[in-house]
């Protein structure tokens, strides 16, 4: 069985989350398992009351980057949350919240969007990761 | 435009124009899952990555690329479900 792709999402801005969602969807399209581990500000972006909100962009985007991202969205680009939903429909995508970040942000499982499958610690994440690459975004 | 007599009839067409990478591939995979072996699915995409990615996905997934044609502002990629 192919080793999974393992994405640790730390940043909570829409551009980085979108990049992560596209990487997830591409791997899922090839039938490769994907484990997504949500930490810090990425986890906060998955709160069910905020997931569709504007989460800003990475500082390097600047004004021109903001305009480019807005233009693509206006042209019909799917949100990162929608891309992740599509990826999960394909199967093999597991999204887990980091338990430490849950404590940090005072979150309960019920506060999170249904895209999130559960809460686990870093050891469980590494065990699921097996020998596959770990990518930090 | 290429018209070959061996081109099978298209069972279903997915209009994914206006959808960005990897949207057209996502829509194609969903359609293939809903289809029967032997069905022929055409996907229309205006996304630049899809005409490269979709044929490679078709090969990896074990289906057959029937045609890839560039039309007015979009690509038509035709695939036969083999498995």
pLDDT tens digits for range B8-58: 899 999 999 999 999 999 999 999 999 999 999 999 999 989 999 999 999
Q: Which tops the pLDDT comparison, A2 or B66?
A: B66
Domains of chain B: 12-80 (3.30.110.40)
State which residue of chain B sits closest to A28, comparing Cα positions.
B26
What pLDDT score was predicted for residue B6? 64
- Indicate if ipTM > 0.95: no
Asked if residue B5 has pLDDT above 70, the reply is: no
Other CB atoms within a 10 A radius of the CB of residue A132 amount to 17
Could you tell me the pLDDT band of residue A133, with boundaries at 50, 70 and 90?
very high
Q: Is B81 a catalytic residue?
A: no
The confidence score (pLDDT) of residue A2 equals: 86
Which CATH number does the domain housing residue A22 bear? 3.40.1260.10
Task: Report whether pLDDT(A130) > 60.
Answer: yes
Per-residue pLDDT reduced to its tens digit, A11-53: 999 999 999 999 999 999 999 999 999 999 999 999 999 999 9
Label the pairing between strands A93-98 and A118-120. parallel
- Note whether B29 contacts A: Cβ–Cβ < 8 A: yes
Note whether A135 and A9 are within 8 A (CB).
Answer: no
In tens, the pLDDT along A107-124 reads 999 999 999 999 999 999
Q: Which of chain B's residues have a Cβ under 8 Å away from the Cβ of A90?
A: 26, 29
Averaged pLDDT of chain A: 96
Domain range holding A90?
5-136
Quick one: closest CA in B to A25, which residue? B22
Q: Which of B10, B21, B29, B68 is catalytic?
A: B21
How many domains does chain A divide into? 1
Q: In chain A, what residues touch B53 (CB-CB under 8 Å)?
A: 26
C-alpha distances in Å from residue A77, one per residue of A101, B39, B58, B62: 29, 29, 23, 29
- Rounded Cα distance between A64 and A89, Å, is 34
pLDDT score at B19: 93
Interface probe with A: pick from B16, B23, B25, B26, most Cβ of A within 10 Å: B26
Residue A68 has pLDDT above 60, yes or no: yes
């Amino acid at each position: 069985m192919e080793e999974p792709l393992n994405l640790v999402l730390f940043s909570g801005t829409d551009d980085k989350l979108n990049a992560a969602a596209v990487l997830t969807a591409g791997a899922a399209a090839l039938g490769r398992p994907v484990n997504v581990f949500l930490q810090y500000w990425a986890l906060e972006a998955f709160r069910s009351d905020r997931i569709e909100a504007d989460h800003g962009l990475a500082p390097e985007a600047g004004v021109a980057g903001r305009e480019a991202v807005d233009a693509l969205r206006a042209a019909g680009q799917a949100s990162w949350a929608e891309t992740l939903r599509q990826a999960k429909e394909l199967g093999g995508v597991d999204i887990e919240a980091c338990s430490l970040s849950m404590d940090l942000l005072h979150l309960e499982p019920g506060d999170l969007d249904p895209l999130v499958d559960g809460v686990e610690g870093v050891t469980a994440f590494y065990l699921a990761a097996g020998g596959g690459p770990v990518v930090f975004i | 435009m290429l018209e070959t007599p061996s081109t099978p009839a298209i069972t279903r067409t997915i209009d994914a124009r206006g959808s960005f990478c990897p949207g057209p591939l996502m829509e194609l995979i969903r359609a293939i899952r809903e289809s029967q072996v032997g069905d022929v699915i055409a996907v229309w995409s205006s996304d630049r990555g899809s005409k490269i990615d979709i044929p490679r996905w078709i090969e990896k997934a074990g289906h057959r690329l029937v045609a890839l044609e560039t039309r007015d502002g979009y690509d038509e990629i035709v695939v036969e479900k083999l498995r």
